[in-house]
């Protein structure tokens, strides 16, 4: 409950986030939220911590292996990224998870990562076998990495900036 009280004091919407809160929301629910700016959502969008070295490397990995250019990317630090984090009841400062917006639904933690791998095709799509591991266990491992990512991999002074050839794949 302490986390809920801290969230309440800091002023963002969700006090307690049920386990499947984001996935249980209606598809495209952010379209009805006046706090979320209008954005193109016809392709899956990866929202990531643009100052985290690990997260930025993940964004580069996706761009390198996404031959079909099916993903768009969005730094969580942008106004749109912050609005989406808040819409889904996530901490808009700590960025405890990457978010995959796919078909209007938000997927978090291990499920978001597995879904991203699946869309990259072989050999990466074989990562879906991780679904045999119970989600609670997968997410516990994800949380350990997420909590320690800045200490283990470092952070950037400024947000990740894509190469000019990849700029059209980024939302701002």
pLDDT score for 1: 36
Domain ranges, ordered by start, for the chain: 20-171
pLDDT score for 158: 65
pLDDT score for 56: 84
> What is the C-alpha separation between 20 and 25, in angstroms, rounded?
9
pLDDT score for 81: 93
What is this structure's pTM? Answer: 0.82
Q: What is the pLDDT along the chain (172 residues), one digit of tens a residue?
A: 333 443 443 444 433 344 444 555 788 899 999 999 999 999 999 999 888 888 888 888 999 999 899 999 999 999 999 999 999 988 888 877 889 999 999 999 999 999 999 999 999 999 999 999 999 999 999 889 988 888 888 887 766 677 777 778 888 7
């Amino acid at each position: 409950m302490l986390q809920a009280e801290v969230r309440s004091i800091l002023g963002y919407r969700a006090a307690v986030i049920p386990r499947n809160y984001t996935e249980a929301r209606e598809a495209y629910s952010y379209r009805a939220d006046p706090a979320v700016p209008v954005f193109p959502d016809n392709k899956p969008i990866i929202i990531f911590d643009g100052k985290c070295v690990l997260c930025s490397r993940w964004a580069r990995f996706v761009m390198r292996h996404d031959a079909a250019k099916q993903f768009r990317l969005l730094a969580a630090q942008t106004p749109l990224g912050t609005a989406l984090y808040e819409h889904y009841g996530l901490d808009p400062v700590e960025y405890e998870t990457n978010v995959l917006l796919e078909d209007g639904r938000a997927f978090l933690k291990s499920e978001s990562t597995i879904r991203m791998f699946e869309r990259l095709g072989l050999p990466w799509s074989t990562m879906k076998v991780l679904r045999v591991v119970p989600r609670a266990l997968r997410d516990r491992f994800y949380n350990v990495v997420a909590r320690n990512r800045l200490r283990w991999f470092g952070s950037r002074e400024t947000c990740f900036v894509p190469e000019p050839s990849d700029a059209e794949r980024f939302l701002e």
